Chain A
Amino acid sequence: MKGVKQSHAEWPERESWLPLLELSVREVYERMLGCQVEPGIITDTQPALDCIALVGLTGTLRGVLSLRCSSASAILMASKMLELSAGDADPQMGDAIGEICNMIAGNFKSRIPELSDRCMLSVPTVIAGEDYTCHSLADGGSIDTAFLLEGSPVTVTLQVHS
């Protein structure tokens, strides 16, 4: 996917994690939403990413995996997951992006043998609204990927504690 930013030069062994994270994103969207995601980048002209789902990781790998998107994208995801109209899917959007984030995190860690058995996931947390700042104490760098879902931007970021 284009629009990928890596900031973990201090962990050369984790260079291979980015394609695994992208693969997990693709697999979750294909299997659970029945759609393909496209490579994408975030620009200033795109709508605010006012929904964020967070899943904590603890154990061998400690950090946070987050998924950010606009509320319109969150509704679209819920609509695709549940095969409902956008109006009917609206109340489920938080639950839907929380589950998607959880599945991406689980799928990602299952691809790395040393994480699979020794890294646990938290129950997802979802925040919606524009007037917030998300500040993670993770200080070990991050792996970022961005993609488009029917033209709308979505980002997935893994922030890691050192």
Chain B
Amino acid sequence: MTWHEEYVCSGQGEDKPMKVKALIVDDSSVMRKIVERSLRQAGIDLSEVVEAGNGVEALSALRLAAVDLILCAINMPVMDGLEFVRQAAKLENVKGVPIIMITTEGSESYVAQALTSGARGYIRKPFTADQVKENVMPLLAGK
């Protein structure tokens, strides 16, 4: 079974992909819109998109409602993505939710810190919809 078939099957046995509620965390509203568009272009059926401008806003959003997928920038004011991942990992409704970092900071140390703190993957900017698909779909399928 391919990852896409698994993803489709995870939609409670229906012949269509599951609906995904995504949280997109980035201080740039332009980047949030681009990430959302890339998710849709990747074939992910988004039921709702929650946006946050930094880690503090994202934690507040997660305390209000659970999501299925989190995409988060690293370099942000107020609370950066690495600290957000550390704190989000303590929230009960984030357990098992894939967190994917989106960053221009492609350095090994940043990536290693993010993965150690609980992120499941990362996408380096600039990215294409295909790269988003390659990184996100397997994590949704295995969620």
Q: What residues of B have a CB within 8 angstroms of the CB of A98 in the complex?
A: 28
Which residues of chain B (89-125) have a CB below 8 Å from chain A? 103-109, 124-125
By the criterion CB–CB under 8 Å, are A27 and B126 in contact?
A: yes
By the criterion CB–CB under 8 Å, are B30 and A78 in contact?
A: yes
Q: How far is the CB of A68 from chain B (nearest CB, A)?
A: 19
Asked if A107 lies at the interface with its beta carbon under 8 angstroms from chain B, I say yes
- Contacts A83-B37, A116-B108; A110 near B124 (Cβ below 8 A): yes
- Contacts A81-B34, A106-B125; A95 near B28 (Cβ below 8 A): yes
Q: What residues of B have a CB within 8 angstroms of the CB of A116 in the complex?
A: 106-108
Cα distance, A83 to B33, chains bound together (Å): 10
By the criterion CB–CB under 8 Å, are B126 and A31 in contact?
A: yes
By the criterion CB–CB under 8 Å, are B29 and A92 in contact?
A: yes
Cα distance, A152 to B114, chains bound together (Å): 39
By the criterion CB–CB under 8 Å, are B75 and A82 in contact?
A: no
Cα distance, A96 to B27, chains bound together (Å): 12
Cα distance, A30 to B104, chains bound together (Å): 16
By the criterion CB–CB under 8 Å, are A81 and B30 in contact?
A: yes
Cα distance, A31 to B127, chains bound together (Å): 6
Interface string of B30-73 (1 = CB under 8 A from A): 11011001000000000000000000000000000000000000
Cα distance, A99 to B128, chains bound together (Å): 15
Q: How far is the CB of B108 from chain A (nearest CB, A)?
A: 6
Asked if A105 lies at the interface with its beta carbon under 8 angstroms from chain B, I say yes
Residue in chain B with minimal CB distance to A24: B126
Q: What residues of A have a CB within 8 angstroms of the CB of B128 in the complex?
A: 31
By the criterion CB–CB under 8 Å, are B33 and A106 in contact?
A: no
Which residues of chain A (113-144) have a CB below 8 Å from chain B? 116-118, 120-121, 123
Interface string of B124-138 (1 = CB under 8 A from A): 111110000000000
By the criterion CB–CB under 8 Å, are B104 and A121 in contact?
A: yes
Which of these, A83, A95, A99, A121, contacts B105 with CB under 8 Å? Answer: A121
- Contacts A31-B128, A110-B124; A103 near B104 (Cβ below 8 A): yes
Asked if B11 lies at the interface with its beta carbon under 8 angstroms from chain A, I say no
Residues of A at under 8 Å CB distance from B?
Answer: 27-28, 30-32, 78, 81-83, 92, 95-96, 98-99, 102-103, 105-107, 110, 116-118, 120-121, 123
In the A-B complex, list the 3 residue pairs whose CB atoms are closest, starting with the nearest: A106-B104, A31-B126, A117-B107
Q: With A31-B127, A31-B128, A99-B28 given, name 18 new contacts (CB 8 A).
A: A27-B126, A28-B126, A32-B125, A82-B34, A83-B37, A92-B29, A98-B28, A102-B104, A102-B125, A103-B126, A106-B104, A106-B106, A106-B124, A107-B104, A110-B107, A116-B108, A117-B109, A123-B77
